[in-house]
Chains A and B, each alone.
Chain A
Amino acid sequence: MTNTTEEIVNLAGVAKSYGAVRALAGVDLVVGMGECLGLVGHNGAGKSTLMGALAGTLIPDRGSIAVGGVDLSEQYSVVVAHHHGIRCVFQELSLCPNLTVAENARIFHRTLKGFGWKKRAAKLIQDKLDEIFPGHDILAGDIVGDLPIGRRQMVEIARAFTVTDAPLRLVILDEPTSSLDAVTAEQLLGFVRREVQSGLSVILISHMLGEVLGSSSRIVVMKDGGVVAARAAGDFTRDSLVAAMGTVAAAKSEQQISATGFRKSGTAMIDARPAAQMDARKLIAHKGEIVGLAGLAGHGQTRMLLQIFANAKKRYTETKVAAPVALIAGDRQSDGIFPLWSIAENVTVGSLGRLVKNLLVDGTASRAMAESWQKRMRIKTPDMDHNILSLSGGNQQKALFARALGSDAEIVLMDDPMRGVDVGTKLEVYEQVKQEAQGGRTFLWYTTEIDELSNCDHVYVFRNGQIVDDIPRAELTEERVLRASFHEAA
C-alpha cells in the first residue's frame, strides 16, 4: 500500500521491556505520506509504548527508527523528532497551566521571539484553532489553567499542528477526542481528513471505533506487544476489528469457569453509583462475591473504587458500604508500597490498630503475622525484615495482597493489581482470592486484562466514567466486554 507513496517513518523491530514484562516484541510499522493510520488495541497492547518510541519520549531496547528514509536510531529524542516534523499530542496534557494560550505556543516554538513575538504567537495559534475548530471561543490571551479540560485539549491539538521553522509531517493523536464533545470531535476529524488529503500523515489512536473506521485510510491492530492485523480501513468492519483485538482463546476461558455463575442474594455489601452515571445503573456487590470492573484503562473504574474507599467509614451517604474496606493498589510505586520499610512493615501496616498492645505495636505478633502471610502468599524472600524493594515486582504485589487480606477488612478493592505481574504469581493470587471469597469476603476487582474477568461472578463494564454494561458470569464473553468498552456510535 505504501509502496506507491513516499514513506515518512519506518520503525523496524522495535522492542521494549519493563523488567520481566515485554511491552513491545519487535514491531515493524511504516507510515506513508498522506496516510491516516488508525491504531487500535486493548490496554497493554503496546500502542502507547510504540508511540512513545516514535515521539522520542522513551528509548526502545532494540530496533531502528528512520524518518524520511534517514536512519535516526542513534540520536533519537523529542527534539530530533520535532525537528523532523513528528509531533505527538500526549494523553496527559503537556501545556503549562500558568501561561496563556499564546505563551504555550511560544514554549513549543523556539523561533517565536524578539519584537512582536506575542502577536505572532497569538496569530499562529489563533489561526490554527480557527482552522480546526471554527466557532471556538478560546482567546490567545486566556490562561490555560483557567480553561475547562476540553478547551485545553483543543489548544494542545491546535498547537501540535502549528508550523514555524520545523516542517510538519506526522502528527500522533493519542485519544484526541477523549475530552471533546461530539461537535468539536467531528470538527477535528474533518480537519484530519482534509490535512491527510493535502499530504500530512496522522496516526490516530482512539477507543471510538467509529472514529477510527471513518477517518483512517489504514488500520493497524495491536495485541500483546505486536501487530496482529494491518489492512486498509475499508477491509474492516466494527465486528472484525473487535474480533482482531480479542483472543482466539475462547476455549481457554471455558475451562476457567469456577465462579459460581449466579448472583448471590441477601443484603448488598456495596451499593454505589458512579458520579458520572446518567441512568439508574448501580454497582452492587453481595457477601462472598467477586465483582469485576472492566473497560479500558482510565474510564472511571479507579474513581469508583476510591469513591467506595472514601465512603467506607461514613454513614448517611449515597454510596453504601456495609463493612470495613481495604484496597490493593495497582500502581505500586505511587499508591502501594512504603519504599523505606521492610516487607514485614509493609504487610502489617494495614493491621496496625489490631497489633497495638499497651500503646506499643506488638513485635512478636507482628513478626508472627508477617511470617504466616509470607507462607500463605508464598512471598519469596529469605527474611521478611529485608527492604520491600529487595523483592521482585510480583512479590511486592503479593505483599500488598497480604496487607489487605491480613487486615480485618471484609471488602477488598483491587485496583488492577496484576499489572505487569508474571503468570505464576497471578495464578497463585487468583487461588487466594477465590478461597477468601468462599470464606465470605467480598471482592471488587478492576482489571484491564479480559482473561482475569473469568474469575469474577459478575462484571460491570465502564466507559467514560459510567457503567455501560452489566454482565452476569454466564453471559460473559470477551467480545461483549470489548464491544461495550469501545464506543459503537460513530
Chain B
Amino acid sequence: MLPVFLNAQLLRSALPALSLGVLLVAIFIIQPNAMSYFGLNLMLQYAVPIALATLAQMFVITVNDLDLSIGAFVGLVACIGATYLHDTPGLGLLMLAGCIVVYAGMGALIQLRNLPSIVVTLGMSFVWLGIAVLILPTPGGKSPDVIKALMALKIPAVPFPIVAAVVIALIVQAGLMHSSYGAVLRGAGGNPKALARAGWSMLQIKMAMFALAGFFGVLSGLSLIGLTTSGDAHIADRYTLYSIAGAILGGAEFVGGRVSPVGAVLGALTLTLTGSFLIFLRISPDWQIGAQGAILIIVLALRALISRGERR
C-alpha cells in the first residue's frame, strides 16, 4: 500500500512539469524549428507577465480566497506605467505603492467582515478598471525605457523569458516555501484556527498575502507594458482567468493552503504555450481558450483520478 501512496503523491507534484513537458514535446515534434533560441523567445514572450499574475493569484489562493480583480488590476498598473511612471516617475511609484496598500486593505476587509472574496474582488475589478479608464481613456502612453530595455534583454544561449521565469519561480519558492514566515503564511490556509491558537494574527497574515498579490500584480503590469510598449485599460482582461487557470495547473489546491510557486510558473508557461501549439497544429486561434479550458479540465480530471487512487 505504501508504494502506491508514495507514487500518487509523487505523481501529483510532478503533474505541472509533466503537462508542460508533454506540450513542449508535442510542439517540437510538429514544428522542430520552434526548438531554437528565437522560437522559444517568441513563443514564451508573454510568459513573464502571465507568470507574475499567476503568482499573485496563488498568494490569494493560499489563504483560501480568490481574486477576480487581478486582470483589471494588471491593466491599471499598465496604464499607470505608461503614463505617470513614464512622465513623473516619483508620482508613478507612489501611485503603485498606493495600489498595493489598497490590496492589503481588501484583505483586511475580507478578514474583518468575513466577506466572500469573490464578491469583494469582483467589485474591486470595476474600481480598478474605472481608474484605468480615467487615466488612459484610449490605448496609448509610453512605457518607461528602463522596463522596455529590461524586457528586451538578450541573454546568450537561453532566451530571456525562460531565465526570468526561473528566477521569479525560485525567489518566490524560497520566500513562501522555505522561509520561516512563509510557513506561517501557508499554515494560515491549512488550519487558521490552529494558527490563531498559536498566537498569530490572521488579520496581519491576510493583509500580507493580499499585499504580496498586489505587489506581483504591479510587477506583472509593468513587465507587460515593457513588451507592448504602450498601455490600455483592457490590456489584461483575460489575466484573471489565466491566473486562476495557471495556479491550478500548477498544482494549487482551492482550499487548504497547498500551493507551489514553481508549479504556478510552470502552469503559466503551459498556458502561454497552448496558443503556439494550436497555431502549429493549424487549428484556428478560435479554439485557443477552448484548448486552455480543455487542458485545465484534463489536469483536474487527472488529479481527481490520482486522489481517488490515493484514497484506496
**CB within 8 Å for A114 and B189 given contacts A79-B199, A107-B195:** no
- Please determine whether A113 and B180 come into contact, CB atoms closer than 8 angstroms: yes
Residue of A nearest to B196 (CB): A78
Within the complex, the shortest CB–CB distance from B210 to chain A, in Å, comes to 19
Query: Could you tell me which residues of chain B, from 222 to 254, have a CB within 8 Å of some CB in chain A?
Result: 253
Q: Mark A133-145, 1 if CB is under 8 A from B, else 0.
A: 0000000000001
- Please determine whether B256 and A98 come into contact, CB atoms closer than 8 angstroms: yes
- Please determine whether A94 and B197 come into contact, CB atoms closer than 8 angstroms: yes
- B194 cross-chain contacts in A, Cβ below 8 A: 94-96, 107
- Please determine whether A99 and B186 come into contact, CB atoms closer than 8 angstroms: yes
Tell me, in angstroms, the Cα distance from A298 to B177 when the chains sit together.
Answer: 36
A103 part of interface (Cβ distance < 8 Å) = yes
Query: Could you tell me which residues of chain B, from 46 to 84, have a CB within 8 Å of some CB in chain A?
Result: none
- A108 cross-chain contacts in B, Cβ below 8 A: 198
- Please determine whether A96 and B191 come into contact, CB atoms closer than 8 angstroms: yes
- Please determine whether B191 and A94 come into contact, CB atoms closer than 8 angstroms: yes
- Please determine whether A110 and B199 come into contact, CB atoms closer than 8 angstroms: yes
**CB within 8 Å for A98 and B198 given contacts A106-B180, A114-B180:** no
- Please determine whether B183 and A106 come into contact, CB atoms closer than 8 angstroms: yes
- B37 cross-chain contacts in A, Cβ below 8 A: none
- Please determine whether B9 and A98 come into contact, CB atoms closer than 8 angstroms: no
The interface centre, meaning the residue of B183, B198, B200 with most chain A CB atoms within 10 A of its CB, is B183
Within the complex, the shortest CB–CB distance from B262 to chain A, in Å, comes to 16
B275 part of interface (Cβ distance < 8 Å) = no
- B198 cross-chain contacts in A, Cβ below 8 A: 78, 82, 94, 107-108
- Please determine whether A98 and B189 come into contact, CB atoms closer than 8 angstroms: yes
In which size bucket is the chain B interface?
Answer: 20 to 34
- Please determine whether B181 and A98 come into contact, CB atoms closer than 8 angstroms: no
A299 part of interface (Cβ distance < 8 Å) = no
Within the complex, the shortest CB–CB distance from A307 to chain B, in Å, comes to 18
Tell me, in angstroms, the Cα distance from A108 to B187 when the chains sit together.
Answer: 11
B184 part of interface (Cβ distance < 8 Å) = yes
Query: Could you tell me which residues of chain B, from 159 to 206, have a CB within 8 Å of some CB in chain A?
Result: 178, 180-181, 183-184, 186-187, 189-191, 193-195, 197-200
- Please determine whether B197 and A96 come into contact, CB atoms closer than 8 angstroms: no
Within the complex, the shortest CB–CB distance from B112 to chain A, in Å, comes to 20
Q: Mark A97-129, 1 if CB is under 8 A from B, else 0.
A: 111000110111010111001100000000000
- A96 cross-chain contacts in B, Cβ below 8 A: 186-187, 190-191, 194-195, 257
- Please determine whether B187 and A103 come into contact, CB atoms closer than 8 angstroms: yes
B258 part of interface (Cβ distance < 8 Å) = yes
A235 part of interface (Cβ distance < 8 Å) = no
Tell me, in angstroms, the Cα distance from A108 to B196 when the chains sit together.
Answer: 11
Q: Mark A227-265, 1 if CB is under 8 A from B, else 0.
A: 000000000000000000000000000000000000000
Within the complex, the shortest CB–CB distance from A172 to chain B, in Å, comes to 14
- Please determine whether B187 and A57 come into contact, CB atoms closer than 8 angstroms: no
- A103 cross-chain contacts in B, Cβ below 8 A: 183, 186-187
- B190 cross-chain contacts in A, Cβ below 8 A: 96-99, 145
- Please determine whether A113 and B181 come into contact, CB atoms closer than 8 angstroms: yes
Residue of A nearest to B258 (CB): A98
- B195 cross-chain contacts in A, Cβ below 8 A: 96, 107
Tell me, in angstroms, the Cα distance from A82 to B199 when the chains sit together.
Answer: 10
- Give which listed residue, B178, B184, B258, contacts A107 with CB less than 8 A: B184
- B199 cross-chain contacts in A, Cβ below 8 A: 78-79, 82, 110
A146 part of interface (Cβ distance < 8 Å) = yes
Tell me, in angstroms, the Cα distance from A117 to B193 when the chains sit together.
Answer: 23
Tell me, in angstroms, the Cα distance from A146 to B195 when the chains sit together.
Answer: 19
Query: Could you tell me which residues of chain B, from 73 to 115, have a CB within 8 Å of some CB in chain A?
Result: none
Residue of B nearest to A118 (CB): B178
Within the complex, the shortest CB–CB distance from A113 to chain B, in Å, comes to 4
Tell me, in angstroms, the Cα distance from A95 to B195 when the chains sit together.
Answer: 9
- B183 cross-chain contacts in A, Cβ below 8 A: 99, 103, 106-107
- A99 cross-chain contacts in B, Cβ below 8 A: 183, 186-187, 190, 257
Residue of A nearest to B62 (CB): A98
- Please determine whether A78 and B197 come into contact, CB atoms closer than 8 angstroms: yes
- A57 cross-chain contacts in B, Cβ below 8 A: 197
Tell me, in angstroms, the Cα distance from A146 to B197 when the chains sit together.
Answer: 23
- A94 cross-chain contacts in B, Cβ below 8 A: 191, 193-194, 197-198
- Please determine whether B184 and A97 come into contact, CB atoms closer than 8 angstroms: no
Tell me, in angstroms, the Cα distance from A104 to B197 when the chains sit together.
Answer: 13
Residue of B nearest to A79 (CB): B199
- Give which listed residue, B9, B178, B257, contacts A146 with CB less than 8 A: B9
Residue of A nearest to B257 (CB): A98
Tell me, in angstroms, the Cα distance from A78 to B193 when the chains sit together.
Answer: 12
Residue of B nearest to A108 (CB): B198
- B193 cross-chain contacts in A, Cβ below 8 A: 94
The interface centre, meaning the residue of B180, B187, B197, B199 with most chain A CB atoms within 10 A of its CB, is B180
- Please determine whether A117 and B180 come into contact, CB atoms closer than 8 angstroms: yes
Within the complex, the shortest CB–CB distance from A199 to chain B, in Å, comes to 25
| Interface pairs (10), CB distance under 8 Å | A82-B198, A94-B193, A96-B186, A96-B194, A98-B189, A99-B190, A104-B187, A107-B200, A110-B199, A113-B180
Q: Give B residues with C-beta under 8 Å from A.
A: 5, 9, 178, 180-181, 183-184, 186-187, 189-191, 193-195, 197-200, 253, 256-258
Known: A96-B195, A97-B190, A106-B183. 16 other contacts (CB 8 A): A82-B198, A94-B193, A94-B194, A95-B194, A96-B187, A97-B256, A98-B190, A98-B257, A104-B187, A106-B180, A107-B183, A113-B181, A117-B180, A145-B256, A145-B258, A146-B9
In the complex, the 9 A-B pairs of residues with the closest C-beta atoms, listed nearest first:
A96-B190, A98-B190, A113-B180, A94-B194, A96-B187, A103-B183, A98-B257, A79-B199, A117-B180
